[in-house]
Amino acid sequence: MRGLLRPDHSPADAEKIMKAYFVSLAVGVLVGLLYSVMAVKSPALPTIALVGLLGMLVGEHAITLARHLATHVFG
């Protein structure tokens, strides 16, 4: 899977990946703080938002998984 830390990643690759995770987390916290300061309610309930994020992750990896399965099953 692309983007996950694996033993075959070089230290430089691992550093880039961790920076991407950190930036993503930092932006999320910043937006949460901004929502709080402005007294704005989140546009989605937390559970619905998490299910939406899960759907995005599944969709992102669905084609890769389908190709991988196709090469092993029909390959």
This prediction's pTM: 0.51
Mean pLDDT of the chain: 82
Same structural domain, 28 and 47: no
| pLDDT band per the 50, 70, 90 thresholds, residue 5 | low
Which residue is associated with the tokens 């309930």? 45
Is 17 in the same domain as 36?
yes
Are 1 and 37 in the same domain?
A: yes
pLDDT one-digit tens code per residue, 18-29? 898 889 889 888
d(CA 26, CA 16): 15
Q: CA dist 44 to 35, 48, 51, Å?
A: 13, 6, 10
Is residue 55 domain-shared with residue 69, that is, in the same domain? yes
Same domain for 63 and 75?
yes
Per residue in 13-66, pLDDT tens?
A: 888 888 988 898 898 888 888 888 988 877 777 888 888 888 888 888 888 888
- Pair (56, 27) in one structural domain: no
Number of domains observed in the structure of the chain: 2
Confidence of residue 1 (pLDDT cuts 50, 70, 90): very low
Which residues span the domain enclosing 74? 42-75
Do 55 and 31 share a domain, yes or no? no
